[in-house]
């Protein structure tokens, strides 16, 4: 089964064409085409994502990104494309490449939420139009399920996943521990009470005059500090680290960073030391809360997903935790290329549901839901 997926929930415009094949209990994924455009440099001036700018950019870029994904899937597209709209010309090319029938794309998947509604609507409207023209069903996908399912995929396959699964989903908009005892049945067992961790990375980066999105920059500075053994004089609060829940909070950390840095003109080394302290704090909090979540749930598989799951220090700290104290649990770490928002994850979530025979996942009329929950 082949799905063309569209992702526009935030500031990434993504289109991917993925083929999924089910053999017994295993699903394998082959990425046929993929294109992704980040608007981050445009939003950098605002220090965060500006919804109406995101919408405008998605509208402008979706046809271009679709064409790129198609070109990626079909090397011949550029020469053979006739004049007329891309939608008109694209479909026959699918046919040519995918075995000769125009029905080669079985469905279109699109992110329904959560995310910024103006941005989500852009993708949904584009997907609806395409689905109508190509006469294929449309599958709405929960963005967080996309992060979760794609993070469980190992070497292109979703197989041998032992339940329950504990997922730590960490991004610019979300921070939550999700428990999946049965496939597609989710329970949020802990979450942030205020800011998402990615937001904290971005805000603190801004205080250090590092560009948006700040996570990767903080990570680089912190790595330099570890290499040079630079330590900050400032100690940041590990808020809620000792509470008897799996909830976290990052607003106090952000405020403490603001006070600690106010009026200071830091050298590069001091910035690095501060970034290290910040990253240590975040890692300490997640290690403590992951320990609690694993103990409380008896999860057999642990997985992390979302943009912040690219953080190498956090990955190492969590790997150490599992190796040391939970060595009978499998820890699945997503490839770095899919931790941030992308359309491959949307395709994989849709394929997983569709190939598992979940008919009700397919509907033609649905709305964008900014606060859609798992």
Is 370 an interacting residue with respect to ligand KG4 (CB under 6 A)?
no
Site for Zn ion in 164-223 (CB under 5 A): 171
Toward ligand KG4, which CB reaches closer, 73 or 222? 222
- For residues 324-343, which are near ligand KG4 according to CB under 6 A? 340-341
Q: Contact letters (x/-) for Zn ion, 225-244, by CB under 5 A?
A: --------------------
Half-sphere exposure for 105 (CA within 13 Å, toward CB):
32
Three-state DSSP string of 159-178:
CCCCCCEEEEEECCCCEEEE
Q: State which residue, 19 or 176, has the beta carbon closest to ligand KG4.
A: 176
Query: Is there binding between residue 8 and Zn ion (CB under 5 A)?
Result: no
- Per DSSP, what are the bridge partners of residue 16? 5, 34
Q: Which does 118 bind (CB under 5 to 8 A by kind): Zn ion, ligand KG4, none?
A: none
With helix as H, strand as E and coil as C, how does 267-322 read?
CHHHHHHHHHHHHHHHHHHHHHHHHHHHHHHCCCEEEEECHHHHCHHHHHHHHHHH
User: Of the candidates 47, 63, 60, 49, which has an alpha carbon nearest to the alpha carbon of residue 15?
Assistant: 63
For residue 68, the minimal CB distance to Zn ion (Å) is 21
Which one-letter DSSP state was computed for residue 210? P
306 binds ligand KG4 (CB under 6 A): yes
- Work out whether 301 is an interface residue with ligand KG4 (CB under 6 A): no
Q: What share of the chain is helix, strand, coil (3-state, %, to 5)?
A: 50, 20, 30
Question: Pick from 146, 173, 190, 334: which binds ligand KG4 (CB under 6 A)?
Answer: 173
Q: Tokens 């990570």, residue?
A: 219
* Binding residues for Zn ion restricted to 306-345, rule: CB under 5 A: 341
In the window 209-228, what residues touch ligand KG4 (CB under 6 A)? Answer: 213-216, 219
How far apart are alpha carbons 295 and 283 in whole angstroms? 18
Choices 78-86, 98-106, 151-159, 166-174 (CB under 6 A): range interacting with ligand KG4 = 166-174
- Distance CA(311)–CA(331), nearest Å, equals 16
Work out how close the CB of 135 gets to ligand KG4 at its nearest, in angstroms, rounded to a whole number: 32
Cα dihedral 338, 344, 346, 350, rounded to 10, equals -130
Strands 12-23 and 138-142: unpaired
Among the listed ranges 68-76, 93-101, 197-205, 235-243, the one in contact with ligand KG4 (CB under 6 A) is 197-205
> Could you say whether residue 171 binds ligand KG4 (CB under 6 A)?
yes
Per-residue tokens: 153: 């995929």
Site for Zn ion in 36-95 (CB under 5 A): none
Nearer to ligand KG4, 136 or 200 (CB): 200
Give the angle 236-241-247 at the CA atoms, nearest 5°.
120
Using CB under 6 A as the binding rule, whether residue 3 contacts ligand KG4 is answered as no
Q: Which is nearer to Zn ion, 67 or 214 (CB)?
A: 214
Q: 140 is in the binding site of which of ligand KG4, Zn ion, none (Cβ under 5 to 8 A by kind)?
A: none
Strand order, beta sheet including 301-305: 185-191, 175-182, 165-170, 301-305, 330-332
Q: 323 burial class (0-12, 13-18, 19+ CB within 10 angstroms)?
A: exposed
CB of 80 to Zn ion, least distance (A): 35
Shorter beta-carbon distance to ligand KG4: residue 43 or 91 = 43
Q: Contacts with ligand KG4: how many residues (CB under 6 A)? A: 19
Among 201, 274, 286, 331, contact with ligand KG4 (rule: CB under 6 A): 201
Verify binding: residue 307, ligand KG4, rule CB under 6 A: yes
Comparing CA positions, the residue from 41, 128, 102, 18 lying closest to residue 367 is 128
Residues near ligand KG4 (CB under 6 A) are 10, 171-173, 198, 201-202, 213-216, 219, 306-308, 310-311, 340-341
């Amino acid at each position: 089964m082949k799905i063309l997926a569209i992702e526009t929930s935030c500031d990434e415009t993504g289109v991917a064409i993925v083929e999924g094949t089910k053999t017994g209990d295993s699903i394998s994924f082959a990425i046929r085409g993929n294109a992704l455009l980040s608007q981050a440099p445009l939003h950098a001036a605002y220090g965060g994502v500006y919804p109406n700018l995101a919408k405008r950019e998605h509208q402008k870029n979706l046809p271009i990104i679709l064409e790129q994904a198609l070109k990626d899937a079909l090397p011949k597209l550029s020469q053979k494309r006739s004049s007329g709209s891309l939608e008109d010309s694209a479909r026959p090319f699918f046919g040519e490449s995918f075995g000769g029938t125009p029905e080669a794309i079985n469905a279109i998947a699109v992110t329904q939420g959560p995310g910024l509604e103006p941005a989500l609507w852009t993708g949904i409207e584009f997907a609806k139009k395409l689905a109508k023209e190509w006469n294929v069903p449309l599958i709405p996908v929960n963005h967080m399920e996309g992060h979760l399912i794609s993070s469980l995929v190992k070497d292109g396959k979703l197989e041998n996943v032992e339940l329950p699964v504990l997922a730590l989903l960490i991004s610019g908009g979300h921070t939550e521990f999700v428990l999946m005892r049965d496939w597609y049945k989710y329970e949020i067992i802990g979450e942030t009470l205020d800011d998402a961790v990615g937001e904290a990375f971005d805000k603190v980066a801004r205080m250090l005059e590092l560009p948006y999105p700040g996570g990767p920059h903080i990570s680089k500075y912190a790595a330099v500090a570890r290499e040079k053994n630079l330590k900050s004089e400032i100690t940041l609060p590990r808020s809620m680290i000792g509470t008897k829940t799996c909830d976290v909070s990052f607003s106090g950390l952000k405020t403490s960073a603001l006070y600690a840095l106010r009026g200071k003109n830091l050298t590069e080394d001091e910035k690095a030391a501060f970034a290290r302290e910040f990253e240590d704090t975040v890692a300490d909090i997640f290690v403590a809360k992951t320990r609690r979540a694993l103990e409380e749930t008896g999860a057999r598989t642990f997985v992390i997903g979302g943009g912040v799951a690219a953080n190498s220090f956090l990955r190492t700290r969590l790997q150490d935790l599992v190796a040391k104290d939970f060595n009978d649990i499998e820890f699945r770490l997503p490839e770095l290329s899919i931790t941030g928002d992308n359309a491959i994850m949307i395709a994989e979530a849709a394929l997983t549901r569709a190939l598992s025979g979940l008919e009700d996942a397919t509907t033609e009329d649905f709305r964008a839901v900014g606060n859609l929950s798992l």
